[in-house]
Chain A
Amino acid sequence: MLNYSLRRLAWAFPTLLLLITVAFFMIRVAPGGPFDSEKNLPAEIEQNLNAKYHLDEPLVQQYFRYLGQILRFDFGPSFQYRDWTVNQLIAKGFPVSLSIGALAMLLSFTLGTGIGTIAALRQNSILDHGLMGFAMLGISIPNFVIAPLLILVISVYMGWLPSGGWEWHWRNMVLPVITLAMPVTAYIARLMRGSMIEVLHSDFIRTARAKGLSEITVIRRHAMKPALLPVISFMGPALAGLITGSVVIEKIFAIPGIGSFFVQGAMNRDYTLVMGVVIFYGALIILFNFLVDLIYAWLNPRIHYK
Chain B
Amino acid sequence: MNGIKDQAIEVDPDRGASAGMDAFSQALDVPHVKGRSLWEDARHRLLKNRAAVFSLGLLLLMLVTVIVGPWLIPWDADFTDWDNIYSAPSFASGHFFGTDAVGRDLFVRTLLGGRVSLLVGMVATLVSLLIGVTYGAIAGFFGGRIDQVMMRIVDIFYAMPFMFFVILLMVVFGRNIILVFVAIGAINWLDMARIVRGQTLSLKSTEYVEAAVACGATPFDIIRRHILPNLMGVVIVYITLTIPQVILVESFLSFLGLGVQEPMTSWGALVNDGAQDMESAPWMLIYPAIFLSVTLYCLNYVGDGLRDALDPRDRI
Contact = CB atoms under 8 A, between A and B. Distances in A.
Interface of A: 11-12, 14-15, 18-19, 22-23, 26-27, 29-30, 136-137, 139-142, 144-145, 147-149, 151-152, 156, 194, 197-198, 201, 240, 243-244, 247-248, 251-252, 262-263, 266-267, 269, 274, 277-278, 281-282, 285-286, 289
Interface of B: 155-156, 159-161, 163-165, 167-173, 244, 248, 251-252, 255-258, 268, 271-272, 274-275, 278-279, 282, 285-286, 289, 292-293, 296-297, 299-301, 304, 314, 316
Contact of B167 (A27, A148, A156, A266): A266
Contacts of B301: 136
Contact of A282 (B161, B252, B257): B161
B52 to A, nearest CB: 12
Given A29-B172, A285-B159, A289-B159, A148 B278 contact: yes
A233 to B, nearest CB: 12
A263 B164 CA distance: 10
Contacts of B163: 240, 244, 247
Contact of A14 (B156, B168, B173): B156
Contacts of A144: 251-252, 255, 268, 271-272, 275
A258 to B, nearest CB: 11
Contacts of B304: 136
Nearest to A29: B172
A156 B160 CA distance: 38
Contacts of B314: 194
B169 A26 contact: yes
Contacts of A14: 156
Given A142-B251, A144-B275, A286-B159, A277 B297 contact: no
30 contacts: A11-B156, A12-B159, A15-B159, A15-B160, A19-B161, A26-B165, A29-B172, A30-B172, A30-B173, A140-B244, A140-B300, A141-B293, A141-B297, A142-B251, A142-B252, A142-B255, A142-B292, A142-B296, A144-B268, A148-B275, A148-B278, A148-B285, A149-B285, A194-B314, A197-B316, A262-B164, A266-B167, A281-B164, A282-B160, A282-B164
Contacts of B171: 30, 266-267, 269, 274
Binding site secondary structure of chain B: helix
Given A139-B300, A142-B292, A263 B256 contact: yes
A266 B282 contact: no
A105 B18 CA distance: 58
Contact of B279 (A30, A152, A252, A289): A152
A145 B292 contact: yes
A145 B159 contact: no
Contacts of A19: 159-161
B168 A149 contact: no
B159 A152 contact: no
Contacts of B279: 152, 156
A19 B161 CA distance: 9
Given A19-B161, A142-B251, 13 more contacts: A12-B159, A23-B165, A136-B297, A140-B296, A142-B248, A142-B293, A148-B274, A149-B289, A156-B279, A244-B252, A248-B255, A251-B256, A281-B164
A152 B285 contact: yes
Nearest to A142: B248
Given A141-B297, A144-B252, A145-B293, A278 B165 contact: yes
Contacts of A136: 297, 300-301, 304
Nearest to B300: A140
Nearest to A14: B156
A27 B285 CA distance: 34
Of B164, B169, B258, most buried by chain A (CB within 10 Å of CB) is B164
Nearest to A136: B300
A240 B162 CA distance: 9
A137 B159 CA distance: 27
Contact of B161 (A149, A152, A248, A281): A281
Contacts of A262: 164, 167
Given A18-B156, A22-B165, A27 B252 contact: no
Contacts of A147: 275
A27 B286 CA distance: 37
A194 B297 CA distance: 19
B173 to A, nearest CB: 7
A305 B170 CA distance: 42
Top 10 A-B pairs, shortest CB-CB distance:
A30-B172, A148-B275, A140-B297, A140-B296, A244-B163, A141-B293, A145-B289, A278-B164, A266-B171, A144-B255
B215 to A, nearest CB: 36
A201 B316 contact: yes
Contacts of A198: 316
A108 B134 CA distance: 36
A15 B159 CA distance: 7
A151 to B, nearest CB: 7
A89 B281 CA distance: 35
Of A27, A142, A149, A286, most buried by chain B (CB within 10 Å of CB) is A142
B186 to A, nearest CB: 12
A111 to B, nearest CB: 20
Nearest to B296: A140
A90 B248 CA distance: 28
A252 B256 CA distance: 10
Of B168, B170, B268, B293, most buried by chain A (CB within 10 Å of CB) is B168
A151 B282 CA distance: 11
A243 B258 CA distance: 18
Nearest to B171: A266
